[in-house]
Structures are given as C-alpha cells and as structure tokens.
Amino acid sequence: MTRGWRAAGAVLVLSGCAPTASSGGGDAGAGGPETGLGVDVEGDAAGPVDAAAEDREAVREDAALSDAPRGEDAGSPDVGAVDAGAVDAGAVDVVDGGSADAGGSDVGAVDAGGADAGGSDVAAVDACVRRCDGRQCGDDGCGGTCMPGCNAGQMCIESTGLCVTPAPTWRRRTPSAVPTGRNLATMVFDSARAVTVLFGGDSRSATYDSETWEFDGTNWARRSPTAVATGRNMASMAFDSARGVTVLFGGDSRSATYDSETWEYNGSTWRRRATATTPPGRQRASMAFDSDRNVVVLFGGDASNSTYASDTWEYDGTNWARRTTATTPPGRHSAVMAYDSHRRVMVLFGGNSTSSSSASDTWEYNGTTWSRRTTVNSPPGRVLASMAYDSRRQRVVLFGGDSNEATYATDTWEYDGTNWLRRSTSAPTGRNRATMSYDSARGVTVLFGGDSRSATYDSETWEY
C-alpha cells in the first residue's frame, strides 16, 4: 500500500510491499499505533483483516493527511522522528517501508535526504538563465539558440547576436551556350518557371533581333516559340507574376514610327494583344510590374526623337489606362525603374530628361502619385544604366551606365528607400545599355550584354 503526504508543495511518499501475515503477526490492523502521518505502521495481532475497519482507517488516514501539523514528531516508535516541516516545497522524499516483520513495529529506513527543518540540504535545481536580451541569433548561454534567428541570405554575428546581410560581389558566369553579344535588349525573371527571359536587342546585324533566350542559372537556351514578336531594340519588358506572362511594349523595330504594340510570352509562344487603349509608340521607356496592385506600370520614354514623355500608364492584362497624378517626374527616356515590393513603390532613377542629359534624381510612385526623394548620397547622373530590385535584401541595385565620362561607369549602388550607398566590389567592365533582372529563386541579380566600347557588343553573363 502506498500513501502520500504533501506539505507546501512537497510530497513525502511511503512505498513498499504490503505486509504479509506470519506466525508473529504483521497485519496493518485498525488498532495499530499511528505515525502522525495518518499511516498505520504496526499491528500487534495477526489475524484476518476487518474490511470495515480498514475503510474506517482509510478515512482517518485521509483526514490525517490534510491535518497533520508541520514540525510534529510522527509519534510512532522506531520511525526515526520524521519531521514534516523538514521537507521543502518542490522536494520529494521517499520512505521505503520495506517488509513489516512479525513485530510490526519497524517501518524501515526513512530517507529524508538529510533535510533539516530549514530544508537546507535539498539539492539545488540547475536553472540556466538564457541570455538573449537584444539578440536576434547566436548562442543563448544554455546550449540553445536565440530567436527569431536570421533570414535566408543573412549571417549571425556571434559577438553581438545580430543578423546582417553580407554585401554581394560580382561573379562572372561562363555558360556553355550564350546569346550573341548585344545591347539594348530586354530581360526579366519569370518567377513561375524560374528562368530569366531575354528578348531582342541590337547585335549589329542587318535587323534587330527577335530571338528569345532563357537562362536557368546554369546555361542559356534559345527558344523557338510558335509565334514571335517582331525584332526590336529599346523595348520595355516586365513579368506579370499574377498572370504568369512576360509583357513587352514598344521599342524600335526600324519602322516609320516607334512601336506601340503589346506582346505577351507564356513560355511557349508570343501573342500580340489588342487593347482598347494603348500608350503612344515609344522607345527607351521605363517599365516594371507592381505585384501588390497586379498592374504593369510604364513611365516616360522617347516618343519622337524630340519629345520626352512624362506620362504614366498602367496595364492590367486587359487594357492600358493612363494615370493622372498630382506630381510627375520631368519627361525623360533611358531612365531605369524597378518595383520595391517591400515598400510597395516604384523607384525611378536617372535618364535623359528635359532638364538634364544625365539626370541623378530619384522618384517613387505609390500607385497614386509621384514623389521626389532627397537622399544624403546619390549616384552621379547617368543614362542607360541597369537596375533591378533585390527582394531578399530589400534594396534596389544599380549598375553602370553612361555618366558623360570618358569611360562607361563600373560602380554599383544600392538604395534601401532612405539613402543610396555605393558598394566597394569588383565589377564587370564599365558598360551601358546592358540588361539586368533579379532571380528571386536563387537570390542573385543577373546582368547580360551591353556596350563596353569593345569591337563587339558584350555577351558576358554576370551575377551579383
């Protein structure tokens, strides 16, 4: 029979085998003396157990369990003066009753862990205190890790417990197959199929290119769509992630006027879209996809070799609509634009504007109006640069372009929504008219082609 006694959260447990009747008598009878803990540990006479008496005894034991005074001697001979107050809160001591012999007076050894009335000998609990205040990551001092931990692409500085995003570096890729060198092509990342799509450009052939190429992160492959847009350069292109199609607009196809066609590519074929309204034909416009409002946004461009457009258009997959905003950047062409999905704004930089041949202003469009941003630092003014939004690190990346210097720019800049920061990193040779997009599946920015003032246009592939 096992009974328990609890005082201030502590449990004193009497455990052992039930005593067996023998010639000397050893049954736990109703008349045996009590320990003061409500447990009958001695019976003087052997004989049958009285069930009714045992029930009465159980009731008496339960009452004793709740009423037993702290610090009171058990009162039973040979128990060893078990002090109920000697057991601290949370401590558990076991009393091994052993086998009650015929004399029935000896309970056995009582192991109270040597605890005195103050409980000073109770073993201390080893409670490790985690050291994670102000830390995002790293060792918590108890064999674990501070949370929430670092995001993909970040690293933990153990000394501070902070997550940082290391600055990328440029790396040249050498695929076994590659498009012919060209400039003024267009390129986007197809997030539905996890490939970079390149179209058109000028490869110094008799006509502008109408080739479609795809880069899977390892190699380039030329595609043979069942239908294709007419060859052109200086077109604008964006990937509509809501509908899973690449959208192409405008450009120069050596026709009498700049193109105003809208084409879509779904990975298998190009399809010309006929819309009720359309922006006037233009080349070197800026275009990107707003993934929060699910519209393609088009701004500016060269509409007639002398008129620099300042209009804003949006395409929802069915029709184009011109937007009228309270403010707008000065008309320009050859600017770069990317969508900051973290802050939900379009970011426009530079270009050849009506006020400057190499603008250095930064503008943002939130779907309602344009606002000019004033930053502490800024890239020097330039045209025909390359720009993409790095969604993993939540910043716009700008490279190269023509800043009216003897050589094309080789600098890399990043914009976090507050300021521009120049990165000190090895870079591709200076160039303009290259094309760039962000591969969100692999977390890298891909740059292709351009004009570096070499004998032929570039066919290099770089990643950042």
Q: Residue 296 is part of a domain; what is its CATH number?
A: 2.120.10.80
More confident position, 120 or 194? 194
**Would you state the pLDDT for residue 257?**
86
pLDDT band at 219 (very low <50, low <70, confident <90, very high): very high
Q: Where among 96, 119, 148 does a domain terminate?
A: 96
**Residue 116 pLDDT more than 70?**
no
**Would you state the pLDDT for residue 25?**
41
Flag whether 458 is in a domain.
yes
Flag whether 104 is in a domain.
no
Summarised one tens digit per residue, pLDDT across range 165-202 is 777 899 999 999 999 999 999 999 999 999 999 999 99
Flag whether 141 is in a domain.
yes
Average pLDDT over every residue of 19-48: 38
* 33 shares its domain with 144: no
Q: Residues of the chain with pLDDT > 70: what percent?
A: 72
Give the chain's domain count: 3
Q: Residues of the chain with pLDDT > 90: what percent?
A: 61
Summarised one tens digit per residue, pLDDT across range 267-287 is 999 999 999 999 999 999 999
* 384 shares its domain with 280: yes
More confident position, 89 or 420? 420
Whether residue 315 contacts residue 295, with contact meaning beta carbons closer than 8 Å, is answered with yes
pLDDT band at 125 (very low <50, low <70, confident <90, very high): low
* 177 shares its domain with 153: no
* 202 shares its domain with 294: yes
* 147 shares its domain with 48: no
Average pLDDT over every residue of 114-119: 44
Whether residue 323 contacts residue 314, with contact meaning beta carbons closer than 8 Å, is answered with yes
Flag whether 106 is in a domain.
no
| Across 27-31, 275-279, 290-294, least confident range | 27-31
* 187 shares its domain with 68: no
**Residue 454 pLDDT more than 70?**
yes
Summarised one tens digit per residue, pLDDT across range 223-257 is 999 999 999 999 999 999 999 999 999 999 988 88
Flag whether 222 is in a domain.
yes
**Would you state the pLDDT for residue 1?**
40
* 235 shares its domain with 351: yes
Summarised one tens digit per residue, pLDDT across range 342-392 is 999 999 999 998 777 899 999 999 999 999 999 999 999 999 999 999 999
What average pLDDT does the structure give for the chain? 80
Flag whether 278 is in a domain.
yes
Q: Where among 80, 96, 112 does a domain terminate?
A: 96
* 156 shares its domain with 181: no
Q: Which residue range(s) make up the domain with 132?
A: 128-165
More confident position, 272 or 96? 272
Q: Where among 149, 165, 181 does a domain terminate?
A: 165
**Would you state the pLDDT for residue 407?**
83
Residue that the structure tokens 């008219």 belong to: 433
* 156 shares its domain with 197: no
Flag whether 110 is in a domain.
no
* 247 shares its domain with 221: yes
More confident position, 414 or 53? 414
pLDDT band at 305 (very low <50, low <70, confident <90, very high): low
**Would you state the pLDDT for residue 97?**
40
* 180 shares its domain with 139: no
* 151 shares its domain with 240: no
**Residue 295 pLDDT more than 60?**
yes
